[in-house]
């Protein structure tokens, strides 16, 4: 009489185990899909932060933040995308939110300071940089420290920060150009010329540094183009810059000659140079 009962218990046990196994299998599958979704989401976030249209990225990360406001990576993505979209004031607000979230880092505060500088809030930017521990020695941190020191005309500090920043990156062209421009505004044209030359040696395609180099030479009444890599269009544009520099120094006839050279050199019609030359000739 006991055999049927025992059999029923055994069958129930097997069913329970089978059910348990099925639930475990389902849970494993769900976890696997969740992991895949996380990978896909991470890849999409990377795309949005790098190659996507900045405003599309803002829309994407705004939705992501609303869906999961505790995710600091989504908040960072929104803040970064706003900066890419040149919506600097909004970006600064979002970076401030990042710095208050669990898991925020010193780099987040550096990014907040960068956004504040872009938004023109220099006082808050300096205050934010002052909250970063001195042990956090990164290129971006010192680049921003140099810019803030420049804005306050604290030249010795600016030079020290620029020098430190240059030593912390393998691509120093941009910061060398900034440092050169700082020297240019101080009237230290020789040092500016040297730094612009260093920037161009690091990145031969950095036209801003080429243009600034011509300004530094022009300020010293050196109206010859430097020996640097340039295509025909760039050569024409640099001749135009040098012409304007000469005119500003009072060397008007030299400026006219440089404008004519710029017009002849440019592979297309160079309206800016033509207009400048016409204005000078009409005035004279």
| Residue 268 DSSP symbol | S
How far apart are alpha carbons 280 and 259 in whole angstroms? 10
How far apart are alpha carbons 241 and 104 in whole angstroms? 45
- Which pairs from 48-54 meet CB under 8 Å and 24+ separation? 48/77, 48/81, 49/77, 49/80, 49/81, 49/84, 54/81, 54/84, 54/85, 54/86
Q: Which domain holds residue 116?
A: 38-131
- Establish if 193 belongs to a structural domain: no
- Establish if 260 belongs to a structural domain: no
How far apart are alpha carbons 271 and 274 in whole angstroms? 5
- Establish if 77 belongs to a structural domain: yes
Q: Report the CATH number that the domain containing residue 77 is assigned in CATH.
A: 1.25.40.10
- Establish if 182 belongs to a structural domain: no
- Establish if 75 belongs to a structural domain: yes
SS3 category, 60: helix
The number of folded domains in the chain is 1
Neighbours of 50 (CB within 10 A): 10
How far apart are alpha carbons 228 and 57 in whole angstroms? 38
- Establish if 200 belongs to a structural domain: no
- Establish if 100 belongs to a structural domain: yes
Helix axes 106-118, 72-84, angle to 10 degrees: 30
Write out the chain's pLDDT in tens, 284 residues: 444 443 343 334 444 444 444 555 555 544 444 444 444 556 777 777 776 789 999 999 999 999 999 999 999 999 999 999 999 999 999 999 999 999 999 999 999 999 999 999 999 999 999 999 999 999 999 999 999 999 999 999 999 999 999 999 999 999 999 999 999 999 999 999 999 999 999 999 999 999 999 999 999 999 999 999 999 999 999 999 999 999 999 999 999 999 999 999 999 999 999 999 999 988 86
């Amino acid at each position: 009489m006991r055999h049927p009962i025992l059999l029923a218990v055994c069958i129930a046990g097997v069913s329970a185990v089978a059910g348990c196994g099925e639930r475990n299998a389902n849970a494993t599958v769900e976890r696997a899909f969740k992991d895949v979704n996380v990978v896909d989401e991470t890849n999409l976030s990377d795309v949005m932060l790098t190659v996507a249209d900045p405003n599309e990225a803002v829309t994407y990360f705004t939705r992501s933040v609303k869906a999961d406001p505790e995710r600091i990576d989504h908040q960072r993505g929104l803040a970064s995308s706003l900066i890419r979209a040149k919506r600097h004031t909004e970006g600064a607000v979002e970076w401030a939110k990042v710095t208050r979230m669990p898991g925020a880092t010193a780099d987040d505060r550096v990014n907040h300071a960068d956004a504040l500088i872009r938004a023109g809030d220099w006082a808050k930017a300096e205050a934010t940089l002052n909250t970063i521990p001195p042990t956090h020695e990164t290129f971006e941190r010192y680049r921003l420290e140099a810019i803030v020191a420049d804005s306050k005309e604290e030249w010795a500090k600016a030079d020290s920060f620029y020098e430190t920043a240059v030593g912390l990156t393998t691509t120093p062209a941009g910061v060398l150009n900034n440092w050169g421009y700082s020297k240019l505004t101080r009237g230290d044209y020789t040092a500016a010329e040297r730094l612009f030359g260093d920037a161009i040696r690091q990145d031969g395609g950095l036209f801003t540094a080429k243009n600034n180099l011509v300004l530094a030479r022009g300020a010293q009444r050196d109206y010859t183009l430097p020996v640097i890599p340039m295509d025909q269009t760039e050569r024409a544009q640099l001749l135009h810059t040098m012409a304007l520099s000469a005119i500003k120094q009072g060397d008007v006839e030299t400026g006219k000659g440089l404008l004519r050279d710029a017009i002849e050199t440019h592979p297309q019609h160079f309206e800016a140079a033509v207009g400048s030359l016409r204005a000078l000739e009409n005035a004279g």
